Each structure stands twice: as C-alpha cells, then as structure tokens.
Amino acid sequence: MDDNVSSPPPDDASPAPGRTSPIPDRAPVILDRGHHCISRRDIDPDALKVLYRLHNHGFIAYLVGGAVRDLLVRRQPADFDIGTNAHPNQIKKLFRNAFLIGRRFRLAHIRFHGGKIIEVSTFRRKPDEAERLAELEEERLARQDSHGENPGQEDLDPGLPAGPTAEPEGGMDPSRRAGDADARTEIAEESPEPAQAAPTETAPAVACRPPLRPIAFGTPQEDAFRRDITVNALFYDIATFSVIDYTGGLEDLREGRIRTIGDPAESYAEDPVRIWRVLRHAARLDFTIEEATARAIPPNRDRLGVCAPSRLYEELNKDLKTGSIQPFIELARRFEILPVVLGGVGHFYQDSDASFDRLRGFLSAIDASTRRDRILGPELSYSLFLWPWTAGVLGEADGDRAKFLYDTFRAAKPAVQFPKSLLLDVFQTLVIVDAMLKALATGRMKWALKKRRHYGTAARAAWIIVRGSALDDDGAFERLFDERYPSAPPPKKRRRPRRRGRRGKSPTPPPESSSA
C-alpha cells in the first residue's frame, strides 16, 4: 500500500468554538481507489445499501473500524459497522427498519432478513474531564436503577450487558457534530428532562433526575482519535472509494503492530478493557505489540479486576469465537492477566506449566473447529477451558461433585461473571467426563450416565481431551471405549421387573391345606 497524502475529506475537522482539541493538526493519509485492495464486492450488500442511502441524502457515510482493518489484510469481517454525521433520529427517519438503542449514546441498529444487523453510529469526539465524570455518574445511576428494579439479576443471567457501560469494540458510540444548530435542537428532543410529579398533601414530591448532558458529538477526525487502537480507526469513504487514516493505522497495519491511540497509560486508565483488546488483536492478526503499548500493560492490568464483570464475560465469549483463543490466552498469561480476571483459576494456570500446556492443546482444538465454521457451544468450550483446573481439584470432592466444583470455582473469586446456569451445566458435564476418563483407564463404565442430559457434550469433550481434535458426535465416547476395549461386552439393558397379578385384582390366595 502506498501512502498518497491528499487533501482532507469534506468535513470540518477543526474543534468547535469554546473547546480545545488535543488532536494533532495534520492532514490525514488517504489511499485513493487504485492504491488499496478493498472492493465493494467484499462488502456486505446490506451494508452497501445503508452507505449509499446515507450518502445520497447528503450525509458522510464511512465503513469504519474492524471491517476496514480486516478487508485491508484480506480477511472476512465479522461485522460491517458504519459511521456518519447523521444524527440518530435522522438515521431512523431514513430507515424504517432502524431501531435506536442506548440511553445516552444512541446507536442505530438497522435490521435485515435473517437476523442481520448493520450498526450505524454518529461521529463522536472524546469527552473532556467534566463530561467524562458526568458520563460515569449517569452510568452509575443506570446500574443503580437496574439493580433496584431487578434484584438478583446477576445470579439470574449475569451474561447480559450491564446497562450502557459496555462499549462496543472500536468505541462505536453515537455522537453528534459540535456546533451544528440542528444538533442542539435534536439533543433537546433526544434527552428530555424527566417529568416531575406535582407535590400534593398526601404524597411527597418525587425526586427528579437531572437532564442528560449534551452528547459529545464530533467530526470524523475526532471520532478516529477517540478509538482504542490505530488499526481500528481506519475509514472507507463510499463517496470516493478511498481509505482515510488519521492516526497512523495504515503504517501500523503494514508493519504488523498494535498500538494504542495517544498515551497508553491514559488510554488504559480511561477504559481498562482496552488492554484486553490490544491482546485480542495482536493474537488474532499475529501482530506484535508496540513497545510503549506493551510496557503500560503491567502497571494497569489490575484495573481489569474492577471492570463490569458481565462485560469481561462478553469479551471472553468473543475470543472463543474468533479462532484465536489459544494465542490470546498465551498473551494473557505472558502479561499475567489470567489471575486478575479468573482469580484462583487464573493463578492455577499462571503457576502450573504442565496444566497450561494441557489447556493450550484444548484451546488449539477449539480454534481449529472454529476455523472450519464449526463453532463449539459455550458449554463444551468452557468445559474444555476449565478441565485442567477441574482435574486438579476434583479429587477433593465429597458428596455432590458438581456442587463442589461450583462452590470451589466461586470461592476462587474470578472477576469474570459467568452465568450460574452455564457453570452448573459445565460442572455437570465435567463430572461425566471424569467418569469417562476413569472408564478408559479401568474398562468399567457406568453406562447409566447415558441418560443424563449432559452426556453428549461430555462425550465430545472426552474425545477432544483424548484425541486433541473435535468430533461432533454424541457417540464419540463409545468409539473411544470400543477402540480401547474391543472385547468388552456391550452395556446391558435394564429390564423392568415383572408385575405379579393384574392391575386392580388381588393375587389369588394359596389353597387351604386339608386336615388329616
């Protein structure tokens, strides 16, 4: 890729009056149509429809974030996100299938057939200190409302995002161009002051939450510098078919490195999950981590432990589906992230080389299956993820072994908040796996386990543990057992005991003996 520096795109990149901008005052790097490999044939047709409709109505329309990054390295993007200077309500007016989500930073989800969603967000600038504190306070109040209205929600389904705190990858929160007269009117429409009940003699006045502060909308340049890493801050302009780079992402992509935008320590302090994303993209793209970006991780890694637990669970789920969970976990161990996010389980993997080597093999099998478009379910994936730790503690179990594993895991105090139902399923599966592996060693198997709901998942997990590759067959364990013990008798079928007499009739009494 050649760096052809052209004039900036047709938008005002200067900061709005009354506020300063730390953004470097330099022209972006623009790759014209003939100097990059992105073709419209590689872009999702529905995403193209959204881009063209926005452009035809006079709005800036960019393909943004990970989609541009993946297309430039000739990978198939998982999602096609779009950035625009159109406001959320304007987007909704253009698309009848658009739904606005979020309490403050409103995103437009444009839905298509088959459950496909194209996410459209308005350009947003990085908030100043006062705005950031206001955002944190609003997020705290939102979490407080959520917990107050739904007590115990974490135990019911902690895998759900905790209100507006979860920021999508790449920082795609909606924003609005500062200084636009229409924007001020629309902000008032989108952030109305809650109604306040009139005080009466019998009912006290209802406390009213203060209105939301105006959203920190901005320009494409400001939006690029608000993101996490440089290779996620690239734009593809549908109007000129060019790639726009404000942050040096093209050079980093060419050199194969991951680098945060701005000072790494400040970036991690603002959002510690950026540490996770740095490791993810380095693992997924097989890139190196830029020196300053890597050096700032150890002093800030403990910040991950105070992130929203459900958000960490969501991030871990993403990595299980990318086909690069093995290199990601290896990087997490190298930077000693595992003890922070997994508690005692993480310490176990951090300290035991032998157990981590076993884990590495299971993660490799998960990645190989994902690359063949056969994504393992969460129950099977987490069973493999936790098996080396489970094998080390299961010998201490007494009584209900699944409950023992669950209680021991909770006592390890992981920062990641797994759904209770998932953990119970995983540990029920691993108890059966343990019985299967013992049967392979002794030749004696309790075939009554086949009646249990988790038997099929356990059979596939046992196959991966023994063979190192995935087999999508509930009879996988029988194949292993038959290969190990070909002359073993087949499992006996239990016969129902025969009932005596007919239903509703008393048994015939024995004949009376005659006296001599």
Domain boundaries, given as residue ranges, for the chain: 1-150+167-197+209-255, 333-484
Instruction: Report DSSP letters for 445-468, one per residue.
Output: --GGGGGSTTHHHHHHHHHHHHHS
Give yes or no for residue 197 having a pLDDT over 60: no
pLDDT tens, residue by residue, 240-276: 999 999 999 999 999 999 999 999 999 999 899 999 9
- Residue 139 is predicted with a pLDDT of 58
Q: Which residue has better confidence, 9 or 284? A: 284
- Residue 22 is predicted with a pLDDT of 59
Give yes or no for residue 101 having a pLDDT over 80: yes
Nearest to 426 by CA among 470, 377, 382, 460: 382
Give yes or no for residue 165 having a pLDDT over 90: no
Bridge partners (DSSP) of residue 171 are none
Distances in Å between the Cα of 360 and the Cα atoms of 95, 339, 381, 383, 388 are 46, 17, 13, 14, 10
| Helix extents (H) in 394-419 | 401-411
What mean pLDDT, rounded, does the chain reach? 79
- Residue 411 is predicted with a pLDDT of 95
- Residue 215 is predicted with a pLDDT of 64
Three-class secondary structure of residue 281 per DSSP: helix
Residue range 1-150+167-197+209-255, CATH number:
3.30.460.10
- Residue 388 is predicted with a pLDDT of 95
b/e map of 480-502 (b: 16 or more CB within 10 Å)? Answer: bbeeeeeeeeeeeeeeeeeeeee
- Residue 59 is predicted with a pLDDT of 96
Distances in Å between the Cα of 424 and the Cα atoms of 9, 276, 400, 421 are 54, 27, 12, 5
Chain centroid offset of residue 164 CA: 15
Asked if 102 and 174 count as a contact pair (C-beta separation under 8 A), the reply is yes
Asked if 214 and 175 count as a contact pair (C-beta separation under 8 A), the reply is no
Give yes or no for residue 138 having a pLDDT over 50: yes
β-strands 107-111, 98-101 pairing: antiparallel
Determine if residue 373 is left, alpha or beta; phi over 0 gives left, psi from -120 to 50 gives alpha, anything else beta: left
pLDDT tens, residue by residue, 304-326: 999 999 999 999 999 998 889 99
Q: Which residue has better confidence, 142 or 23? A: 23
Instruction: Specify the range with the lowest mean pLDDT, choosing from 230-239, 334-343, 473-482, 499-508.
Output: 499-508
Q: Within a 10 A sphere around the Cβ of 386, how many other Cβ atoms? A: 22
Instruction: Specify the range with the lowest mean pLDDT, choosing from 62-66, 193-197, 434-438, 496-500.
Output: 193-197
pTM: 0.75
Give yes or no for residue 147 having a pLDDT over 50: no
